[in-house]
Amino acid sequence: MTDVAVLFARADSIYKTMPGCDVYDAERNALTYRGGAPIIAHPPCRAWGRLSYFAKPRYGERKLAIWSVLHIRRNGGVLEHPVASKLWPVMRLPAPGKRDA
């Protein structure tokens, strides 16, 4: 049984060794996740961070964070993103340490 889906994990993620984790790395493609379990999402943050003006994200990479938030709101879970991420105001996320309604 899957307890949690881990999306946008590294290929060498420690989550792959943990029971109950359904891990989606680049090879497995998190966009194929269809729901059904709470999520731990680690979408790329370089397009959203303090130094985003230096970043050169791949086409569509910025949208992965938005996609993650929408799926977390549907399935429950946690978003792993920098505290100063510009994603917080764009998606009207609660302040770090607070819970989303």
Each residue of 3-48: pLDDT tens digit? 999 999 999 999 999 999 999 999 999 999 998 999 999 999 888 9
What total number of domains does the chain contain?
1
Q: Is residue 34 in a domain?
A: yes
- Asked if 81 and 87 touch (Cβ cutoff 8 Å), the reply is yes
Q: Is residue 19 in a domain?
A: yes
**Separation in Å, CA 30 to CA 26, 42, 52, 74:** 7, 10, 23, 15
Band of residue 1 on the pLDDT scale cut at 50, 70, 90:
low
Q: Is residue 62 in a domain?
A: yes
Query: What are the pLDDT digits (tens) for 42-75?
Result: 999 888 988 787 888 789 889 999 999 999 999 9
Q: Is residue 101 in a domain?
A: no
Q: Is residue 97 in a domain?
A: no
Spatial separation of the C-alpha atoms in residues 21 and 17, rounded to whole Å: 8
Q: What is the structure's pLDDT at 12?
A: 96
Nearest to 74 by CA among 2, 5, 1: 5
Please give the span between the terminal C-alpha atoms of the chain, in angstroms, as a whole number: 27
29 token code pair: 């493609």
Q: What is the structure's pLDDT at 46?
A: 85
Structural domain containing residue 73: 4-90
The pTM score is: 0.89
- Asked if 73 and 92 touch (Cβ cutoff 8 Å), the reply is no
Q: Is residue 100 in a domain?
A: no
Higher per-residue confidence, 67 vs 96: 67
